[in-house]
Amino acid sequence: MFHAAVAEALVRADDVPLATHKFGGSSLADAACFRRVGAILRAQPAPRQVAVVSAMRGTTDALISLAEAAVRGSPDWRADWRRLRDRHLDTARDLVPDDAADALQWLESGFDQLASRLAALAVLGTPNREALESIQGLGETWSAHILSRFLARQGTDCGFLDAREVLVVGHGELGAVVDWSESARRLAEWRSRNTQHWTVVTGFVARTRAGHPTVLGRNGSDYSAAIFAALFEARELTIWGDTDGVLSADPRLVPDATPLPHLSYDEACELAYFGAKVIHPQTLTPVIARGLPVRIRNTFNPDHPGTAIGATPSSSTNGRPAATAGEHRVPPMPVKGISAVQDLAILTLEGAGMIGVPGTAERTFGALHRAGVSVVMISQGSSEHSICCVVRETDAAAAEIALTRAFEAEIARGDIHRVSVAGDIGVLAVVGDGMTGTPGVAARTFGALARTGVNIRAIAQGASERNISVAVARADTARALRAVHAAFWLSPQTLSIGLIGPGKVGAALLAQIEAARPRLLRDHQLDLRVRAVATSSRLWLGEARDAARWRESSDAACDLDAFTRHVQAEHLPHAVVIDCSASDTVAGRYADWLAAGIHVVTPNKHAGAGPSGRWRAIRAATANGSRFRYEATVGAGLPVISTLRDLLDTGDELLAAEGIFSGTLAWLFNRYDGSSPFSRLVREAHALGYTEPDPRDDLSGIDVARKLVILAREAGAGLELDDVAVESLVPESLRRLDAEAFMQRLDELDGAIAARFAAARAEGKVLRYVARLGEDGEASVGLVALPSGHAFAHLRLTDNVVQFTTRRYRDNPLVVQGPGAGPEVTAAGVFADLLRVAAALGARL
Ligand code: ADP
Ligand code: ASP
Ligand code: MG
């Protein structure tokens, strides 16, 4: 065991507490970053500090491409070499101006050496592993050198340790394997010669047993830091990066990822293994053996406590503070974080001849092992008909050959009928200690993926139940990650919304959404993002924060393709189109939107009352789980369709429906008493926004007829608009005018209405515009004279009323009644539908 060896070999100068830090490349991007690092170290309480450093940001990548360019014989490397050199020299000049000559000389000779090695590579023309590894690690020597000079200049007692003098590693299957006793012996020896209180150590680099410089693999400085924490017998290790600790997911893929206050070693290992770049997967091996606490913190926000990683499994609240009284309670969640690896491939071995044959799995994985292919994930159904595993895409070809060879005989006999490879795969890992024994985690994961339309290629869950891994198409990885992240309340449920037709209802809806947004976000983790607004002459595409400025957008033809592409953003899990237009063309798009996984919410009656073939196609397009909601098409904000649905879904049967479905016509006939012309009332209603943009849509009865068709179809009747007997209040002579001319000649309505009114009054009756769907299936809408005691005669203002006569409500019909027109109530009806869509997608409302 290494720590016995370490303890034996270490000659400790004293018992002063010692802390280890690691600063990543992002924390060492420029001179200002080095100053920040200096300030952090000076603020530490422990008198002894060991700082393990990465190369300055981007340096390792630059060195790798320099070496590649040199091997290719490309002359470009000299310009890049100079840029890298100048960047380092400038940083040193800035940080240690008075001591610059010495430091600069040291750096210059380092860069000269690099140039001669690159020139040698160019001559050789073949990559040589040793030369490449030694070049790759140079960045760490430069950054460590600059930092130690800078700290010394600031008056600290600071030394510089080139890890290659001390750290000896061999190469194992999982990467570098530390020779602990040799490394500890060398460090003890180094410490006996170097007694400074502070030490800056090069990360990433080491030496092989044969004495050649080597590196610990990309991002290996984290591992270096853990090794040196063990070797120096530090009390703690802090890894400083550019995020507030380990986040619940990669912030580049999930912008809403939140910092996790605690992680167990196991959780951190799973997340790191499955792609959380914030720590290198091997980092924790040395610290786990010692039980050393690790903290991940942000150099750019040193006041933030970051993430503490330790031995104990933690019950999770996902980083959210426990709710206080009166606050919306957020239940604890078993899932801590979600990570993703891409560039993978699925390898499948299939054949009936494998069923019940012992040793197939062993032979599969043995063959892969011998081919040097590491397996990321394994899944086998209990039928044993196929074995499937996920490997790195770069290993896929070798893996396929290895398996084809290993099962040559079975393939020839037909027992195994194929070995296949599917590339472009990503794997999502859902991780948390609390998942152990908690039912429902898998269901929630898969449900979230299904709702966002992501197909699952393979699934695996370790017996520890700490990790559920799901393979998906690489193109789906980001969306899948976001959807699952949102499903576990790690981030808000986000809906990307596009609104068409911001007229009176649309504008009211935008205002309602804007006003409700903060509360929905705070109390329900629901993030409604209006990202597109289209009118017939304008198109605004943007982000929710700018939505209020949609009116400033320049004129553009209503390009619904561009609109759709923007709304269905790759990075947002759910897309919704809200159609507040009165356009038949827009309704013509619904089926395509729904089929593409875009939910549709609308008060536009054209789809519901349009050709029944199109209506059926729209309904059929929801088979994939897309939601289509249109409550506000009948009775504005009143729960008319949902009431009918509830009746039908619980087994009731609609026998007849009757009512006043037009708030506009209700208002007109409630107000009309013959004392002033009907046309004056129509103008008033138009100005109040009670009518459709063209009042003939109301007066012609078509709007009411459409509502009747929608209700009839909801109840299963195959009614067409043409089947409804419609009585129009618009005289023949006014029907073909344009809207403006019609408004000018509105008083031509007055004579006929006045006559009908007088006749009804003579019988003690009132006029009402009524819609009827009879038991015989007959549908009609028109002006009728009702006894003054009739229920429909006592409505107020724009009230709608719908009477459902059903098997259960036969003698005494069920009545839904209330305000049925006006932008605010209609918008509220649409908004309620939008929230129902969100709830169906998993938002807790
Ligand atoms: P450093 O130079 O500090 O070592 P790296 O480039 O190696 O930084 O990796 C840090 C980056 O990893 C972060 O800036 C972040 O974008 C990304 N990352 C991926 N997954 C996570 C996660 N779960 N938590 C935090 N950061 C993550
Ligand atoms: N500089 C190395 C790399 O970029 C090691 C590290 O930063 O951790 O991979
Ligand atoms: Mg890193």
pLDDT at 439 over 90: no
Measure the CA–CA gap between 374 and 586, rounded to whole angstroms: 51
Q: Which residue has the tokens 């590491």?
A: 374
Query: Could you tell me the distance, in angstroms and rounded to a whole number, from the CA of residue 218 to the centre of ligand 2?
Result: 5
Q: Does the beta carbon of 700 sit less than 6 angstroms from any atom of ligand 2?
A: no
Residue type, 235: R
Place 384 in a pLDDT band, splitting at 50, 70 and 90.
low
Whole-number Cα distances in Å, 332 to 113, 115, 434, 588, 843: 56, 56, 9, 44, 16
Cβ of 221 below 6 Å from ligand 2: yes
Max Cα distance, the chain (Å): 118
Radius of gyration for the chain, computed over Cα atoms and rounded to the nearest angstrom: 36
Mutating to test ligand 1, I would choose from 33, 221, 278, 294 the residue with most ligand atoms within 8 A of its C-beta, which is 278
The proportion of the chain whose per-residue pLDDT surpasses 90, expressed as a percent, equals 66
Active site amino acids: 707
Are the beta carbons of 633 and 710 closer than 8 angstroms? yes
- Ligand 2 neighbour 136 (Cβ under 6 A): no
Q: Which of 219, 243, 269 to mutate to test the pocket of ligand 1 (most atoms within 8 A of CB)?
A: 243
39-48, 545-554, 819-828: least confident range: 545-554
Mean pLDDT of 132-144: 95
Distance CA 690, CA 665 (A): 9
Section 760-787 average pLDDT: 94
- CA 350 to CA 356: how far, in whole Å? 13
Nearest CA, atom 5, ligand 2: 219
429, amino acid identity: A
Give bridge partners of residue 540 from the DSSP assignment. 533
Does the structure show a pLDDT above 80 at 328?
no
Sign of the CA dihedral 810, 812, 816, 817? positive
Q: Does the beta carbon of 152 sit less than 6 angstroms from any atom of ligand 2?
A: no
Enclosing H/E stretch for 484: helix 477-487
Given a cut of 80, whether residue 437 has pLDDT beyond it is: no
Among the bound ligands, name the one nearest to the CA of residue 28.
1
- Residue 115 predicted with pLDDT over 60: yes
Question: What is this structure's pTM?
Answer: 0.69
Query: In this predicted model, what pLDDT tens digit does every residue of 557-610 receive, in sequence order?
Result: 778 999 999 999 877 778 999 999 989 999 999 999 999 999 999 999 999 999
Nearest-5° Cα angle at 605, 600 to 606: 90
Proximal ligand: closest to the CA of 143: 2
Ligand 2 within 6 A of CB of 701: no
Cβ contacts of 503 within 8 Å, gap of 6 or more: 580, 581, 693
Render the burial of 341-352: b for 16+ CB within 10 Å, e for the rest. beebbbbbbebe
Q: In what order do the strands lie in the sheet with 814-819?
A: 725-726, 779-787, 765-773, 654-660, 799-806, 814-819
End-to-end CA distance of the chain, in Å? 54
Quick one: average pLDDT of 411-438?
Answer: 89
| Rounded percentage of the chain residues whose pLDDT exceeds 70 | 94
Mean pLDDT of all residues belonging to the chain: 89
Q: What is the mean pLDDT of residues 326-341?
A: 66
Single out the residue of 504, 481, 576 nearest to residue 835, CA to CA: 576
For residue range 490-516, list pLDDT tens digits in order: 667 889 999 999 888 999 999 999 999
**Backbone phi, psi, residue 442, to 5°:** -65, -45
DSSP 8-state assignment for residue 672: -
Coil vs helix vs strand at 692: coil
Give yes or no for residue 827 having a pLDDT over 90: yes
How would you write 295-364 as a 3-class SS string?
A: EEEECCCCCCCCEEEECCCCCCCCCCCCCCCCCCCCCCCCCCEEEEEEEEEEEEEECHHHCCCCCHHHHH
Cβ burial of 717 (10 Å; 0-12, 13-18, 19+) is middle
Q: Establish whether residue 25 lines the binding site of ligand 2, counting it when its CB lies within 6 angstroms of any ligand atom.
A: yes
**Residue 803 pLDDT grade (very low, low, confident, very high; cuts 50, 70, 90):** very high
Ligand 1 centroid, distance to 131 Cα (angstroms): 28
Residue 739 tokens read as 């809207």
Mean pLDDT score, 47-76: 93
For the CA atoms of 707, 712, 716, 717, what is the dihedral angle to 10 degrees?
Answer: -120
pLDDT reported for residue 777: 84
Kindly state the tokens that stand for 321.
Answer: 């503070």
Atom of ligand 1 nearest to the CA of 259: 24
Q: Whose CA is nearest to atom 8 of ligand 2?
A: 219
pLDDT at 333: 63
**pLDDT tens-digit series, residues 784-798:** 999 988 889 988 888
Residue 679 to residue 749: CA distance in whole angstroms: 7
Contact in structure between 722 and 716 (CB atoms under 8 Å): no
Residue 735 has pLDDT above 80, yes or no: yes
Q: Which of 228-242, 367-381, 498-512 has the lowest mean pLDDT?
A: 367-381
What is the DSSP annotation of 714-731? Answer: HTT----GGGSEE--SS-
Q: Whose CA is nearest to atom 10 of ligand 1?
A: 278
Query: What is the C-alpha separation between 260 and 268, in angstroms, rounded?
Result: 11
pLDDT-derived band at 17, boundaries 50, 70, 90: confident
Average pLDDT over residues 149-176: 91
The sign of the dihedral angle between the CA atoms of 286, 292, 296, 300 is negative
Give the CB-side neighbour count of residue 138, counting CA atoms within 13 A.
29
Q: Which residue has the higher pLDDT, 835 or 6?
A: 835
pLDDT category at 821 given cuts 50, 70, 90 is confident
- Picking from 382, 22, 386, the residue whose alpha carbon sits closest to that of residue 204 is 22
Residue 73 pLDDT grade (very low, low, confident, very high; cuts 50, 70, 90): confident
Secondary structure of residue 162 in the 3-state scheme = coil
For the segment 675-700, the average pLDDT, to the nearest whole number, is: 90
Closest of 574, 599, 567, 434 to residue 492, by C-alpha: 574
Q: Is 477 left (phi over 0), alpha (psi -120 to 50) or beta?
A: alpha
At 469, which helix (H) or strand (E)? strand 467-473
Whether 627 shows a pLDDT value over 80: the answer reads: yes
Nearest to 147 by CA among 91, 224, 220, 223: 91
Bridge partners of residue 802, in order along the sequence: 659, 816
Gap from CA of 54 to ligand 2 centroid (Å)? 6
CA–CA separation, 44 and 48 (whole Å): 9
- Pick the atom of ligand 1 nearest to 26's CA: 2
Ligand 1 near 278 CB (within 6 A): yes
CA distance 391 to 805: 62
793: buried, middle or exposed (CB in 10 Å: 19+, 13-18, 0-12)? middle
Determine the length of the chain.
845
Does pLDDT of 78 surpass 80?
A: yes
Task: Report the range out of 278-287, 375-384, 667-676 with the highest average pLDDT.
Answer: 667-676
Whether the pLDDT of residue 10 is over 70: the answer is: no
Confidence of residue 643 (pLDDT cuts 50, 70, 90): very high
Side chain identity at residue 803, one-letter code: Q
> Torsions phi, psi of 230, nearest 5?
-70, -45
489 in helix, strand or coil? coil
Cα torsion 766, 769, 773, 777 to 10°: value is 100
For residue 277 and ligand 1, the question of a CB distance below 6 A is answered with yes
Range 585-594, long-range pairs (CB < 8 A, 24+ positions)? 586/500, 586/501, 586/560, 587/614, 588/614, 589/560, 589/564, 590/618, 590/621, 590/628, 591/617, 591/618, 591/620, 591/621, 592/621, 593/564, 593/621, 593/626, 594/618, 594/621, 594/622, 594/624, 594/626, 594/628
User: Which of 250, 336, 491 has the most ligand 1 atoms within 8 A of CB, as the residue to mutate?
Assistant: 250
> How far apart are the C-alpha atoms of 13 and 666, rounded to whole Å?
94
Mean local confidence (pLDDT), 233-243 = 95
For residue 80, the CA-to-ligand 1 centroid distance in Å is 26
Instruction: Give how far the C-alpha of residue 121 lies from the chain's centroid of Cα atoms, to the nearest Å.
Output: 45
| Confidence label for 332 from pLDDT (cuts 50, 70 and 90) | low
φ/ψ region of 635 (left if φ > 0, alpha if ψ in -120 to 50, else beta) reads left
pLDDT digits (tens, 9 = 90+) for 255-282: 878 899 999 999 999 898 888 888 888 8
Ligand 1 closest atom vs CA 248: 23
224 lines ligand 1 (CB under 6 A): no
What's the pLDDT at 124? 85
Over residues 461-495, the pLDDT tens digits come to 865 678 899 999 999 999 999 899 888 866 678 89
220 Cβ inside 6 Å of ligand 2:
yes
Give the C-alpha separation, 724 to 716, whole Å: 16
Q: Give the residue-averaged pLDDT of 417-440.
A: 88
Does residue 251 have its Cβ closer than 6 Å to ligand 1? yes
- Please report which confidence band the pLDDT of residue 99 belongs to, taking 50, 70 and 90 as the band edges: low
CA of 223 to the centre of ligand 2 (A): 10
- Cα(57) to centroid of ligand 2, in Å? 9
Give, in degrees to the nearest 5, the angle at Cα 121 between 119 and 126: 155
Give the list of residues 6+ apart from residue 687 with CB closer than 8 angstroms, or none.
none
Q: What is the pLDDT of residue 330?
A: 38
CA distance 641 to 619: 15
Burial (CB count within 10 angstroms: exposed 0-12, middle 13-18, buried 19+), residue 428: buried
Give the whole-angstrom CA distance, residue 817 versus residue 652. Answer: 20
Provide the pLDDT for residue 688.
84
Lowest mean pLDDT among 243-247, 436-440, 809-813, 837-841: 436-440
Nearest ligand, CA of residue 60?
2
